[in-house]
Structure 1
Amino acid sequence: MGKPKRLLVGLGSTPLASIQAQGLRPDIYDQYINRVGPDSWVSWNLPRGAYIGVVAKNADAMGAVPMFTLYQMATRGDGDLSGLSDPVFMRQYWDNVRLLFQQLRLYNKPALVNFEPDFWGYAQRKQADPTRLLVHVGVSNPDCGNLPSDMTGMARCLLQMARAQAPKAMVGFPPSGFPDLASTELAYMRHIGAGFADFAVMQTLDRDAGCFEALYTADNALCTRRSKVAYYWDETNLTSPNFNEHFAMARRYFEGLQLPLLWWQTPQGQPSTKQVGKAAPFRDNRTQYFLTHAAQMVAAGGFGVVFSPGHTSQTTIDSDGGQFKRLATQYLSQPAALP
């Protein structure tokens, strides 16, 4: 990717102006591309699909590699898989994917694509055998007429289209990390062919820990999910959940898929010993721990980490009191080398 051989640090879902105002130079710049239908990402700019070029241009302005998080399968609702068996929906889905890779071919530089966060976990919950869940692949997409109409065919089709249409793009699948799938998800991801991608995407939490602790309902933040384990991890690694446990899990994916890891959408809240329950910033310690323990991320198999809010109500570089800039600058003064 033309980047230094150290753990890369990126930002996502963050306005270009905010990044430039702080003089930041992220290695990776990530944005969502979502939905299927008339209001999908393909219509955000003209001509159709031009949004890819807009993001790529902004990334270039910062010296960053553009990254796109494909999030189309949540169009009908998070976890709603009814589109898989709908030929009209899937035809639109594949048309958008084709346009993505055509635009990346025009860009003609390295770019990263993250395939459908959480979707693979929802699909596994519905049917543990990926060959037994119907997906309109070849019947809705002439580019993949050689592939089976199931989850293995869907994953292989995403890879096949990327390789054929955008050879400079690097792609990765994100294990969901759902606790109930902890013992089986790696085997599932291997079965669908995630090991044939270029990297694997690791996740920690889609909101700041403090948002869930406060059961925050304003701004449609959806922070009312209950959990049997704490959302805020122990940075001393003495009690569970903690960071050592997370990196051990990540290492299993690194070894099981034989792919380098990219942490994505890492919360940006500020550390606190108290559950203050206050928005912007909510409390969280993942940004602080990751940027002060980068060698642990490399040892787990990581090549990069992207920090970004999972919702507009969450902490960002505009509301973190300068935390990201301070810690990123400190990290870059003594970066963690890649093997």
Structure 2
Amino acid sequence: MGKSSRFLVGLGSADLADIQKQGITPDIYDQYLVGVGAGSWPTWNSPSGAYVQVVAQNADKLGAIPMFTLYQMASNGDGNLSGLTNTTFMKNYWDNVRLMFQQIKAYGKPALVNFEPDFWGYTQRISNNADPATVSAQVSNNPDCSNQPNSVAGLSQCLMQMARAIAPNAYIGFPPALFGDLHSTAMSYMLKLGADKADFIVMQTLDRDGGCFETVPQVSYCTRAGTGWYWDESNLTSPNFKEHFALAKTYYQGLQLPVLWWQTPLGVPSTQIGGSSGKYRDNKVRYFLTHASEMVAVGGLGAVFSTGEVNQTSINTDGGQFKTYSTSYLAKPAALP
């Protein structure tokens, strides 16, 4: 991809001007492609689909590889799978995918694509014995994939088939959902999707700062049940970083692909539980960027940091933390094998 053979560090969901203002030099620049039909990402610029070029050009200005997180399956609501068998929805879905890859081909340089975060977990929950071939989806009416079955298994194969045929310069990856109730069958499900035929694995930590879930009373944008959102950096009590890296290693070994962490929260470490809007605590930036060699050891290729929700810590509210740790890391980076 034109980068040095070291663990890569990226940023997402941040404005170009904000990154440039701090003199941050990310290896990867990630943005979402969302929506199906009216108001979806192809309509954001003219001509249709030009947003891909906007992101790619911004990445070029940063010296970064553009990354596109395709997040169209959540258009009807997170976890709503009704669109899979809706003719209009799926026609628009495939038209957008085709346009995305055509635009990436026109860009002409390496680009990364992250396929549908969380969607695969939702389909796994309704599948029969963790088999994506048992979940219906309209696929064969897409002229690019008339050879594929009308199922979620066919859908995943179609995404890869379109990538290889239309945009050979695209590197593609699937994100295991990491839902706690699916751990026992997640690996077999990813293999049945054919995720081992992609180029990398998209690994997630949490789409919010840990402290956001610790607030009392809970805020509307962080209402999940549970505890242990803030990981133990000493790795003595659970949950901790070594446990997470061990999980990442199982995917690395099972799919035989490098691991790219994505949407890693930007919160600042604190002994004060919780926090406030824009300043919730977390410690993943500090740990990841001071222990990158541990991530390389479990198959790590890089980590992309970004906010998963507008009230979370960003590079504008972190007091310069990301700039400080990323600069320090780049002065003594972790080599890839």
Q: Retained in 2: the 8 A contact 1:131–1:152?
A: yes
Q: 1:215 to 1:254 in 2, by over 3 A?
A: farther
RMSD: 1.0
Partner in structure 1 of residue 74 of structure 2: 74
Q: How many residues align?
A: 335
Separation (CA, whole Å) in 1 of partners of 2:181 and 2:133: 21
Separation (CA, whole Å) in 1 of partners of 2:190 and 2:147: 21
Separation (CA, whole Å) in 1 of partners of 2:18 and 2:41: 22
Q: Please give the per-residue CA displacement for 1:222-263, whole angstroms capped at 9, x wherever unaligned.
A: 201112x41111110001010000000000000000000100
Gaps of 5+ in 2: none
| Deviation of the 1:217 alpha carbon | 6.1
Q: Secondary structure at the match of 1:52?
A: helix
| Deviation of the 1:168 alpha carbon | 0.5
Q: Retained in 2: the 8 A contact 1:216–1:224?
A: no
1:1-339 superposed matches below 5 A: 1-127=1-127, 128-139=130-141, 141-214=142-215, 222-227=221-226, 229-339=227-337
Separation (CA, whole Å) in 1 of partners of 2:43 and 2:328: 40
Separation (CA, whole Å) in 2 of partners of 1:336 and 1:215: 39
Letter in 1 for 2:68: F
| Deviation of the 1:274 alpha carbon | 2.1
| Deviation of the 1:71 alpha carbon | 0.2
Separation (CA, whole Å) in 2 of partners of 1:274 and 1:114: 34
Q: Retained in 2: the 8 A contact 1:130–1:152?
A: yes
Q: Secondary structure at the match of 2:184?
A: coil
Q: Retained in 1: the 8 A contact 2:268–2:280?
A: yes
Separation (CA, whole Å) in 1 of partners of 2:322 and 2:52: 26
Letter in 1 for 2:175: P
| Deviation of the 1:183 alpha carbon | 1.3
Q: Retained in 2: the 8 A contact 1:215–1:224?
A: no
Moved beyond 2 Å, runs of 4+? 215-218
Segment of structure 1 superposing worse, 87-96 or 275-284: 275-284
Separation (CA, whole Å) in 1 of partners of 2:334 and 2:279: 28
Q: Retained in 2: the 8 A contact 1:268–1:316?
A: yes
Identity %: 62
| Deviation of the 1:273 alpha carbon | 1.6
Q: Please give the per-residue CA displacement for 1:263-322, whole angstroms capped at 9, x wherever unaligned.
A: 000000011122143222100011110001000110010111000000111101110001
Give the TM-score normalised by structure 2: 0.98
Give the TM-score normalised by structure 1: 0.97
Gaps of 5+ in 1: none
Q: Secondary structure at the match of 1:263?
A: strand
Q: Retained in 2: the 8 A contact 1:198–1:259?
A: yes
Q: Please give the per-residue CA displacement for 1:113-149, whole angstroms capped at 9, x wherever unaligned.
A: 000000000000111221111000012x110000011
